[in-house]
Amino acid sequence: MSVDLLDLRIIKSLSNNARKPYSTVAKELDISDATVRKRVKRMLEDGVIRQFNVLVDYHMIGKNVKAFIGLRVATGKLKEVVGHLEKNDDVVVLYRTTGNVELFAEVVFRDMEELKTFLESELDHDGISYSEVTVVIGPYKRCPSSGL
């Protein structure tokens, strides 16, 4: 499966608003509705576009504290720790990383007390040997897929 410049332009148009009508995308790119529909269908079938997401404003639902947590994981415990953390709805994203930590978690909470509770309960796991928490004080550029 190859992706060309037109496919990339369609993706960019839809990434700003996945509910945008194909007719609007077609007008923006000066192509036909059928071309947009056909290409989106092909990209979905080929797995280039995996899904269309809802972008939540976490502040609007009371999640005002965002943090990144770097975690060192004991040898042989990675799958266990990942399984433990991915069950928690406050863990928005969980990355496998290289460097000083093996995992990097993006988390959101109502307040600092919730963050504190999370740190004391969820990170008290025999597979986690070290954690480093960085609280976000504000964005310069938000993640286009999560809005965080």
**Residue 147, pLDDT score:** 55
**Residue 46, pLDDT score:** 95
**Helix or strand or coil: residue 26?**
helix
> Phi, psi at residue 101, to the nearest 5°?
-130, 155
Claim to verify: residue 40 and residue 81 sit in the same structural domain: no
Q: How confident is the model at residue 58 (pLDDT cuts 50, 70, 90)?
A: confident
CA–CA separation, 40 and 34 (whole Å)? 10
* Position 96 in a domain: yes
Helix (H), strand (E) at residue 69 = strand 65-73
**Residue 143, pLDDT score:** 67
Structural domain span for residue 17: 5-45
* Position 106 in a domain: yes
pLDDT digits (tens, 9 = 90+) for 8-45: 999 999 988 899 999 999 999 999 999 999 999 999 99
* Position 94 in a domain: yes
Token digits for 14?
């839809």
Claim to verify: residue 40 and residue 69 sit in the same structural domain: no
Claim to verify: residue 116 and residue 87 sit in the same structural domain: yes
CA–CA separation, 74 and 143 (whole Å)? 30
Amino acid identity of 60?
Answer: M
